[in-house]
Each structure stands twice: as structure tokens, then as C-alpha cells.
Structure 1
Amino acid sequence: MIWNSLVALAFVAPSHALIRFGCSQLVVNRIDPLVNPGEAPSPHMHQIIGGNSLNVSMFPENHDLAKLSTCTTCQPADDFSNYWTATLYFRARNGTYKRVPQKGNVGFEGQKGGMTVYYMQNQLADYQQKAQVKAFQPGFRMLVGDASATTKAQADKYPQLTYTCLQDMNTRFPETKDFPKKPCPAGIMVNVRFPTCWDGVNLDSPDHMAHMAYPVSGTFESQGPCPTTHPVRMPQVLYEVIFETKAFNAAADWPEDSSQPFRWSFGDEKGFGNHGDYVFGWKDDALQKIMDEACYVNCKTMRTQTIDQMNSCSVDSFVNEDVGDNNWLASIPGQPM
């Protein structure tokens, strides 16, 4: 199992850092400070983790989240970044919907929803982490994926956005570009991997993507070179979001034609619209110090807090509506009936 391998590899001295940590839920709400700043409600629902300076706008001039936040839902005590994805819904045979909750990953079973975040120089299983990277800066933000994608060809433009049907909590393969087509015993893992090559100038771009790029050949995992237009190598940010599907896995609850019943909060029933958002908010140079340390998962320069402290950080909802945690909804919030 890959996580057991990670634990074993952690005892071998690496060259640079790879970190893995849990983040509890900050809020589930219909806001999108990156794509739809100032809109409440925004077009679709998101689940958001990180620092409590989160607000509806988060315009670039209000960029130093570490100075604006008083707590964070993430394990690193110096990480006040905000990370988010869309929420997932289950559609019952009668056409009503309920939100699928998230759960903590291996090692973070006590956290309240949320997801797992990685920062790494090299591929996940490379314990040596030989590459050197430049940490993000205050004001940096990015998006990966296309919520409007409806075909595999469109989804393939973002090769590192995938799904894993968990047979148990250590399952990591195979990965698919669309939703699993059968019940997943331990849940559905959504994998969101961001591009790693920066143009070296812009902290953002109009589409929140153009300032970042994938390697010109090969992949991040194969250490493909960055394009000359985006020469600065950054850490790869990876989200693992585990949606707890056990309440929705009974065959009798699935559609009679055996089609899959899950929907993204923006209405996508195939899964090709998978996407994620990131707004950097580490305190001072804390992330760069960690990236420069020779460590694997457990890094001395990373100050941490307890799961209870993570779980205690939250913000009030910006939009007062039923998100479908307890009640079945006639439609997904923000979507047509």
C-alpha cells in the first residue's frame, strides 16, 4: 500500500522536503472568492479549508492571509492558506439530493471533514525529493481544471485531476478521469494536482491559470523540464479529498439503469469538470524553510497544532441556505430543478 510505503521511506534521509497534512473543514458555502469575488451566493457550492480570514471577496490587495487570520483548520500552525473544491451530491431515485460529506485520510481520522494537502518537490513516492523549488509568495493564487468540461477530451487538458474508487483507505490505483461507475466501499477520492511551473512574475492571471504551466515534456512525476515561458519550479500542491459514500452505496439506492448517481455541485454528472482553487497564505518564509529542509512528511521546521485545534477553527456561513447535510433537497443549491 502506498501510504505504508511512505511511512517506511520516511526513515531514509531525503535531500529536500515533502509534507503531507490534514485540514479540517472551515466552511461549506456557496462562495468562490477566486472566480466570483464579491458574489454571495456564487454559482455553485464549495468546501473550503484553511485560515479564517476567508471572505467573499479576497481581492489581491488583501493578500497576506497569515496577517489577517487568527486560526487555521490545517495541521501546520503557520499555514493560513485557503484551499477549496466543489462539493459532491448524491441523486436519489426520486430526484432529490443530499450532500456527500468528506472524511479524514489515513492518519487524520479525527479531523472534521476537509481534505489532505501535500507540498512536494518530486513525485509522491520519491523519498529523496532532490529538486529544489521556490515557495509561493503572498498574493499568489491559482486554479486548475474547468468546471464547464463535459467530455474526456476537455478533461484531458488537465492530466492530473483524477478519481480513485477506494476499496479501502490505502487504495490509490487505478485513477480515472470520470466518476467511478460502481459503489466504492471506502469512498471516492478526488485527486487535484496543480501545475508546477511559474512564469516568475505574476502572482495571478485573469483566468487564474496562465501564470502557471505543466512541464514542456513528460510530467511532474517524470521530472519533465519547465517551459522557457514558465521557468521557475514551484512545489506541487496536491489535494486528496475523500468523499464518504457509505450512506449512498446500497445498490437499491442507485439508478435502475445502473448509471452512477453522483453530481458535482455545479451539476456535472460525468466528473470531467473536476477543479480546485488555491490562495497562498503561509506565514513569512515558513513554507520555504520547510521546502529547504531535508525531511519527508515529518519536518522539524513545520510547527503543528492538534486535530482538536484544527477542528475548532471555523467561519460563519456567508450564504444562509440548506446545503443538504441533513435534509434531502429538490435541487442542488444554485442549480436548476
Structure 2
Amino acid sequence: MKYSFVLAALAALADAALRFGCSTVSIQRLDPVVEPGNSPSAHLHQIVGGNAFAAEMKGDIGEQGTCTTCVFSEDFSNYWTAVLFFKHENGTYKRVPIMANDALPAGISGGMTIYYTQQDFNSNGNKFIRAFPPGFRMTVGSPTQGADGLTKHKGLRFTCLDNKSTRFPEIDDFPKKPCKGGIMTEHHFPACWNGKDLDSPDHQAHMYDTQPTGFAAGAACPASHPVRMPQLAYETLWDTAQFANMWPKDGSNPFVFSYGNQSGHAYGTHADYMFGWKGDSLQKAMNSSCMFNACENGKPLKSQSVAAMNACQAKKVVNDNLDGWLTALPGMT
């Protein structure tokens, strides 16, 4: 698929940085990017965003669905990651609950923190940022990658939380001991686009990463991928602390993602994105000078209440048992 754009727009400057919460819209085995049409997909995903989420999604996602679980009511995008499980010494599994980031409005049901930054975590930049076009999608990481994947994808990181406000340091594998406040997974996507493809066979080649690490200013985009887009990132806070008293006696890592870990490591961590902002709402935000929650309430983006976010749900089409102790990961029997 190809997409053309007006080069004259590059004369404008962008200043905005968005940080907002999205509650859970669904937890099920569907993946319309990597496994379109498959119901169920190979492994379980935690999904936030628009309620049009389904096994296959085509066209302008911003014009589909009736609600969204995100703070910004014009954002019908979908954001998803693999689900984290605790593996007991007896071989059974229990899904790890998600916690809301305490930097966001209280009461958000699970979900993720989503970022669209221009330069870095603390400041705006002075370069034009081109919003993602309708139909755009991408992934970062892969459930089949080995240890070199975390070196290749500098934005795949973990944080051992002292509390919900802990942000750093970011490390490249699961913490080796229980974390007092839980574990945060971070997925930072590339921000340089080739300017023509809405997707690619591996869902990654149409993008290029120039950032030294997450939430840091990136170098100039290369000629092969010349279009600077928002730096997209997800943060997911997992309530692993409730399992602290069950840590294996041999000290081995007891947490596994829903795709099944490789040798007890988190090498296969990954995330998927499907753009779905209505009209030119994201571009308006990228052209503004707002930062984080200052972009809400029509300045320039429409926002909604936490109650409205939590009430939005996608249709359940795969009915795996996700509660209590399981004898196997969903889809792995």
C-alpha cells in the first residue's frame, strides 16, 4: 500500500507531546496486524483503544467503532501487547493484573499509558512531525526474537517499580528479584517513516529508529525513511508484587508472556499499533504547543471522562478462560 503527502506541509513546525491513559477494551487472542483474519490468534493480547477491534481490520479505523477507551475521544486507534503471567512452581499459570499509572486520572481500568512525543520526555522540539496516515500500522519487537532482539530494538525495556511513580532505570530484561511496586514494560516504536508504505511484510521495514534509547531525542531520519513521525510509546504496569511470596526457591524468573518465554527471558516482548485518530485530530495536536494533559478539553483535542473510557468494550469473539490458576497458557494446550 502506498500513501502520498503534500511536501509543502513540511514547512510547518510541531511542538506537541501527548501522554494519556487508555483503559482495557479487550483481552483476547486476536491480532489483526500479524495474523489478520485468524480467530483465535496464536497468543493472548492486552488491547486498548477503539471498540472496533476485531480479527481483521481494514480501511480508516478512525471512522469505525462507537467508542474508545482512551482519554482523547477522537482516538480510535488500537494499541496492544502480550499478556504477562506468573508461573507457579507447580506448573500452573495466573494472569498478572494491570495497574493504572498514578500520573493519570484516577480510576482507569487497567490499560496502558500512551505517548506521542516530538523530541523527548521533557520537552517539545522544533521539527515538523507528520501524523500517521489512515490505514497505517506497525509493530516493534517479535515473539520469535532472541537475545539480540533487545539490542536491535533499543526501545524494548523494563522497569522494576518501587511504586507507581518509578520511571527509571530502564533495563533490557525482567528484573532478577521481586519488585516492591510491580514491573513496568516499555515499548518505544521507531519514528522515521519511508513516506509511502502503510505497512510492510514484517510490519517494521517501513519504519526506522534513530533514537539512542526510549524517550530520548533521535538523530536525523535517513534518506530511506525521511519522514519524521511522532515517537509512539506504551507503558504497561503489571501488578507482580502480589506474587512476591511465591517467588521460586531457586531464584529463577517466574514470569512469562502469553507467547511463552524463551529460556525464562523476555526477549520476545513486542507491541502492535493500528492508527485510528479521527480526521486530522492527531495532526492538529502535533501542530500545537500543548504538553500532556494540557492538550485535553479541546486544547486542541476532545477528551472524555474515566467512566466513559471504562464503559467502552470490544466484542468478545474468543472465549478463553482467563481467570484463576490455569494449567496452560491460553492457546498453548
CA distance in 2, matches of 1:51, 1:218: 31
* Match of residue 321 from structure 1: 320
Contact 1:92/1:261 (<8 A) preserved: yes
Q: Is the counterpart of residue 254 in structure 1 residue 247 in structure 2?
A: yes
**1:222 and 2:217 matched:** yes
Give the equivalent residue in structure 1 for 2:9.
Answer: none
Residue 77 (structure 1) aligns with: 73
Query: Which residue type is aligned with residue 66 of structure 2?
Result: T
Equivalent in the alignment of 2:22: 23
- Alignment match, 1:172: 167
Task: Give SS of 1:175's match.
Answer: coil
Q: Residue deviations 1:142-183, cap 9 Å, x none? A: 0000211232x2321101110001011121111111111111
CA deviation profile, 1:286-327 (whole Å, cap 9, x unmatched): 00001110111111101100000000000232211102x3x1
**Which residue of structure 2 aligns with residue 265 of structure 1?**
258
Q: Are the aligned partners of 1:103 and 1:109 in contact in 2 as well (CA < 8 Å)?
A: no
For structure 1, which runs of at least 5 residues remain unmatched after alignment? 1-13
Partner of 1:287: 282
Find the aligned partners of 2:332 and 2:290 in 1 and give their Cα distance: 45
The residue that corresponds to 2:332 in the other structure is 335
The 2-side partners of 1:37 and 1:120 are apart by 29
Aligned to 1:249, what secondary structure does the other structure show? helix
Residue 131 of structure 1 and its aligned partner are, at CA, apart by: 2.7
Q: Which residue of 2 aligns with 1:207?
A: 202
Distance 1:287 1:36 in 2: 27
User: For the Cα contact (< 8 Å) 1:22–1:117, is it kept in 2?
Assistant: yes
SS at match of 2:152: coil
Q: What is the CA RMSD across the aligned residues, in angstroms?
A: 1.5
Q: CA deviation at 1:109?
A: 3.3
Partner Cα separation in structure 2 for residue 42 and residue 289 of structure 1: 35
Q: Structure 1 CA distance, aligned partners of 2:49 and 2:27?
A: 12
Per-residue displacement from partner, 1:164-218 (whole Å, max 9, x unpaired)?
0101112111111111111111111000000000000011111110100012x85
Letter in 1 for 2:165: N
Give the count of matched residue pairs.
313
- TM-score by length of structure 1 reads 0.90
Q: Give the letter aligned to residue 68 of structure 1.
A: Q
- Report what 1:312 is aligned to: 311
- Could you tell me whether the CA contact under 8 Å between 1:198 and 1:233 is conserved in 2? yes
| TM-score of the two chains, using structure 2 as the length reference | 0.91
The amino acid of 1:302's aligned partner reads L
Question: Displaced runs of 4+ in structure 1, greater than 6 A?
Answer: none
Unaligned runs of 5+ in 2: 1-12
Once the two structures are superposed, the pairs formed by residues 1-337 of structure 1 within 5 Å of their partners are 16-58=15-57, 62-106=58-102, 107-126=104-123, 128-151=124-147, 153-215=148-210, 218=212, 221-250=216-245, 253-268=246-261, 269-297=264-292, 298-299=294-295, 300-323=299-322, 325=323, 327-336=324-333
1: distance between equivalents of 2:232 and 2:180?
Answer: 27
Tell me: CA distance 1:317–1:154, structure 2 relative to 1, closer, same or farther (3 Å).
Answer: same
Q: Is the 8 A contact 2:50 2:314 kept in 1?
A: no
